[in-house]
Amino acid sequence: MTIRYGGDYNPEQWPREVWDDDVRLMQRGGVNLATVAVFSWARLEPRPGEYDFGWLDDVLDTLHAGGIRVDLATATASPPPWLAKLHPETLPVTQDGVRLSVGSRQQYCPSSPVYRDYARRLVERLVERYAGHPALELWHVNNEYGCHVSRCYCDVSATAFRAWLEAQYGSIDELNRAWGTAFWSQHYDSFDEVEPPRTAPTLGNPTQLLDFDRFSSDELLACYLAEVEVIRAGSDVPITTNFMGFFKPVDYWKWAPHVDVVSDDTYPDPADPDSPAYGAMVHDLMRSLGGGAPWILMEQSPSAVNWRARNAPKAPGQMRAWSYQSVARGADGILFFQWRQSAAGSEKFHSGMVPHGGTETRVWREIEQLGGELRRLSGPDTGIEGSRVPADVAITLDWDSWWAIEQPASPTTVSYLEVLFAWHRAFTSLGFAVDFVRADGDLTPYRVVVAPAHFVATDAEVSNLAAFAEAGGTLVVGFGTAVLDEHLHVRLGGYLGEPLRRALGLWIEEFAPPAGPDLRAGGGGTTPRVPIDGDVLGGAAMGSVWAEFVRTGDAETLASFTDGALAGWPAVTRRAVGGGGGWYVATLPEQPALTRLAERVAAEAGLERPEAVADGSDVEAVRRGELVFVINHGPDDARLLIDGTDVLTGAEASGSILAPHGVAIVADAQLS
């Protein structure tokens, strides 16, 4: 096995004679895997039921002859225009009732039986024809499910939503109870009266909104599973579909068990200094979704994208540094969108591995360099492929909480992702590896589990978290946790359900989010903040996003709010149980204070902070298997402080200099 290297290959955009050049260049660039046919439906089935596979045979044979393996897409991501002509009801409808048109991509209603049927027939033909092709390495189902159309409000979707609800609740009485329809005269007499949450006069029913989020994710999953079933019937080649990092509309915990290998598309902004830290979090999620197994970076850009308002190119070395960041955090494949930069169409200004300028370009040289390096690094000698990233710290991630805490009519405006990012960054900036977990998953491999803003919690989740703390683990619960049950009913009698209240030694009396004028209307200018103070935070600091009146029982207060209505109330508490116990954090401390807190939590959990491996200002170090990856994201040179051999250069690591975007992969690492 070698580390996979390659990208989306769209040869149908080019004359036949270019294909041979493509393969020659792929060989030169170290490419060993090409993703083919992602957007080829209209070419494969130019008219309903009339298939044309001749050209794809040629593509696969040409790649195979050149020793390039194929990740074959099922081509169902963008139906041909004839489907809309024949069946306009397959076009998706927005919340406002606008039916989307052809002329772009992904214009299908996920619940449409007609779409699913045409998709199934196409996949049957593809499997029949290519299951035995010697180039086939991976099936790539659809593409980025939900990236443009994650939900549909048409009448077909409404019917499917009703069926989904009936399966969930069994009776309309149960639905009425769960949705709390005694409120605002929303009582339903039968499922027929229920609608998707289309644009309405004012605030919608929260449980209806949440159920529609769940339903929409499930409908896309059903599309995926329908294709998987067809592939499985005729092929035992592994199957994937490309995820999109922290993608709110799709609950990847539910999807992950159904992919043979997790794959991800990620496009951090080269102009954003937070991108390396955010990228680290995304990669950690991908590893966690697969239970720690290696994953594939299915798409990244060689340089600029074309879909931001301003599209910065990647700086020299940045693509390579970010690629190694993925490998460090568990990727066994580095692929790009796309191989040859398009000459026409809406992505012609999106970079490609082979740019418009051809091979006498910086981008191509960097692609070729990385391909050569990955080829040399592949194989048993370095031991990269298949190796794991051990983590002692985990953060809970929960799509229900994400959906619910960002609903309107909540205590305040929260970006769930911002809160997760702050916690992830606090631990990773200290050098700790971090996994993501489900709150009802197996927490026993971890010493520290953080549950930030876990707004919606089932009894099983609350018990699992509490049991972790009672059994000697270190549990850190962040504000806004376990406020609601899975139907979004408030847990009465003080927020935080039993037995979490007991494990943490406190309960929450009232929310008091920092606020300013017109926050909801986007006014106010600055982020409202609230002062906090305590040694665990490194002294006086500011909190933002949320704050609460916390009533402690047998928890000790380690930091407090210091101003306004909250003055003197606890901001950070701890209830010790054996070596572990339960921490509670009632606001989002600013990053340096949160990092201090994370350091203290880790220390009290018996975790030693890894020593610095370099002296730079923004150097990332990750242990994967026997190797330590060191990546300099900072603006200045960094000097390595770690003994061992850099497998990229064969040189002794200690004392060597990493320029900005420089990377070292150190074997036999010892801190000097």
Q: For residues 395 and 43, give the distance between their C-alpha atoms in angstroms, rounded to a whole number.
A: 45
State in angstroms the smallest separation of the CB of 267 from ligand GLA: 6
Q: For residues 655 and 646, give the distance between their C-alpha atoms in angstroms, rounded to a whole number.
A: 11
Should residue 267 be labelled a site residue for ligand GLA when binding is judged by CB under 6 A?
yes
Nearer to ligand GLA, 277 or 298 (CB): 298
Q: Which of 76, 78, 143, 428 binds ligand GLA (CB under 6 A)?
A: 143
Q: Which long-range contacts (CB under 8 A, 24 or more apart) does 239-243 make?
A: 239/138, 239/139, 239/141, 240/71, 240/138, 240/139, 240/140, 240/141, 240/296, 240/298, 241/140, 241/141, 241/142, 241/143, 241/145, 242/140, 242/143, 242/144, 242/298, 242/299, 243/286, 243/289
The reply to whether 620 belongs to the active site is no
Nearer to ligand GLA, 265 or 461 (CB): 265
State in angstroms the smallest separation of the CB of 349 from ligand GLA: 11
Q: Where does this chain touch ligand GLA (CB under 6 A) — which range of 191-199, 221-229, 298-306, 578-586?
A: 298-306
Evaluate whether 574 touches 582 at the Cβ level (below 8 Å): yes
Nearer to ligand GLA, 144 or 219 (CB): 144
Give strand ranges (E) for 141-279: 239-240, 242-243, 263-265
Q: Where does this chain touch ligand GLA (CB under 6 A) — which range of 299-307, 405-413, 443-451, 615-623?
A: 299-307
Q: For residues 434 and 166, give the distance between their C-alpha atoms in angstroms, rounded to a whole number.
A: 39
Sorted by sequence, the CB contacts under 8 Å of residue 52 that are 6+ apart come out as: 43, 44, 45, 46
Sorted by sequence, the CB contacts under 8 Å of residue 177 that are 6+ apart come out as: none
State in angstroms the smallest separation of the CB of 8 from ligand GLA: 6
Phi, psi torsion values for 654, nearest 5 degrees: -55, 130
Q: Using DSSP bridges, classify how beta strands 239-240 and 242-243 pair: parallel, antiparallel or unpaired.
A: unpaired
Q: Give the active site residue among 137, 219, 227, 299.
A: 299
State in angstroms the smallest separation of the CB of 7 from ligand GLA: 10
Evaluate whether 336 touches 34 at the Cβ level (below 8 Å): no
Should residue 546 be labelled a site residue for ligand GLA when binding is judged by CB under 6 A?
no
Nearer to ligand GLA, 288 or 301 (CB): 301
Q: Where does this chain touch ligand GLA (CB under 6 A) — which range of 12-20, 297-305, 585-593, 628-636?
A: 297-305
Around Cβ 616, how many Cβ atoms within 10 Å? 23
Q: Which of 265, 284, 332, 620 binds ligand GLA (CB under 6 A)?
A: 265
Nearer to ligand GLA, 265 or 620 (CB): 265
Should residue 305 be labelled a site residue for ligand GLA when binding is judged by CB under 6 A?
yes
Nearer to ligand GLA, 144 or 548 (CB): 144
Nearer to ligand GLA, 347 or 637 (CB): 347
State in angstroms the smallest separation of the CB of 580 from ligand GLA: 41
Should residue 620 be labelled a site residue for ligand GLA when binding is judged by CB under 6 A?
no
State in angstroms the smallest separation of the CB of 13 from ligand GLA: 12
Residue 368 pairs in a beta bridge with none
Q: For residues 5 and 373, give the distance between their C-alpha atoms in angstroms, rounded to a whole number.
A: 11
State in angstroms the smallest separation of the CB of 341 from ligand GLA: 11
State in angstroms the smallest separation of the CB of 143 from ligand GLA: 5
Q: For residues 638 and 653, give the distance between their C-alpha atoms in angstroms, rounded to a whole number.
A: 12
Give how far Cα 133 sits from Cα of 16, 147, 237, 612, Å.
21, 30, 11, 49
- Contact letters (x/-) for ligand GLA, 553-572, by CB under 6 A? --------------------
Closest CA relative to residue 660, chosen from 643, 644, 641, 636: 636
| Share of the chain residues as helix, strand and coil, in percent rounded to the nearest 5 | 35, 20, 45
Q: Give the active site residue among 137, 144, 373, 548.
A: 144
Nearer to ligand GLA, 205 or 341 (CB): 341
What would the two tokens of residue 81 be? 């225009």
Give, for 543, the enclosing helix (H) or strand (E).
strand 539-544
Should residue 336 be labelled a site residue for ligand GLA when binding is judged by CB under 6 A?
no
Should residue 84 be labelled a site residue for ligand GLA when binding is judged by CB under 6 A?
no
Q: Using DSSP bridges, classify how beta strands 263-265 and 295-299 pair: parallel, antiparallel or unpaired.
A: parallel
Give how far Cα 392 sits from Cα of 301, 433, 599, Å.
32, 7, 13
Should residue 350 be labelled a site residue for ligand GLA when binding is judged by CB under 6 A?
yes
Nearer to ligand GLA, 183 or 307 (CB): 307
State in angstroms the smallest separation of the CB of 38 from ligand GLA: 6
The three state secondary structure string of 2-22 is: CCEEEEEECHHHCCHHHHHHH
Distance from the Cα of residue 65 to its chain's centroid: 36
Should residue 332 be labelled a site residue for ligand GLA when binding is judged by CB under 6 A?
no
Closest CA relative to residue 234, chosen from 314, 328, 127: 127
State in angstroms the smallest separation of the CB of 342 from ligand GLA: 10
State in angstroms the smallest separation of the CB of 306 from ligand GLA: 7
Q: Tokens 């794991």 map to which residue?
A: 388
Evaluate whether 32 touches 67 at the Cβ level (below 8 Å): yes
Q: For residues 300 and 28, give the distance between their C-alpha atoms in angstroms, rounded to a whole number.
A: 20
Size of the site for ligand GLA (CB under 6 A): 10
Nearer to ligand GLA, 197 or 355 (CB): 355
Q: Which of 22, 137, 144, 211 binds ligand GLA (CB under 6 A)?
A: 144
Nearer to ligand GLA, 106 or 474 (CB): 106
Judged by DSSP in three states, 189 sits in coil
Give, for 511, the enclosing helix (H) or strand (E).
strand 506-511
Q: Which of 19, 215, 337, 629 binds ligand GLA (CB under 6 A)?
A: 337
State in angstroms the smallest separation of the CB of 265 from ligand GLA: 4
Evaluate whether 341 touches 355 at the Cβ level (below 8 Å): yes
Should residue 299 be labelled a site residue for ligand GLA when binding is judged by CB under 6 A?
yes
Give how far Cα 298 sits from Cα of 10, 138, 286, Å.
15, 12, 11
Sites for ligand GLA among residues 469-528 (CB under 6 A): none
The reply to whether 360 belongs to the active site is no
Nearer to ligand GLA, 38 or 621 (CB): 38
Should residue 71 be labelled a site residue for ligand GLA when binding is judged by CB under 6 A?
no
Catalytic residue numbers, as ranges: 144, 299
**Binding residues for ligand GLA (CB under 6 A):** 143-144, 265, 267, 299, 301, 305, 337, 347, 350
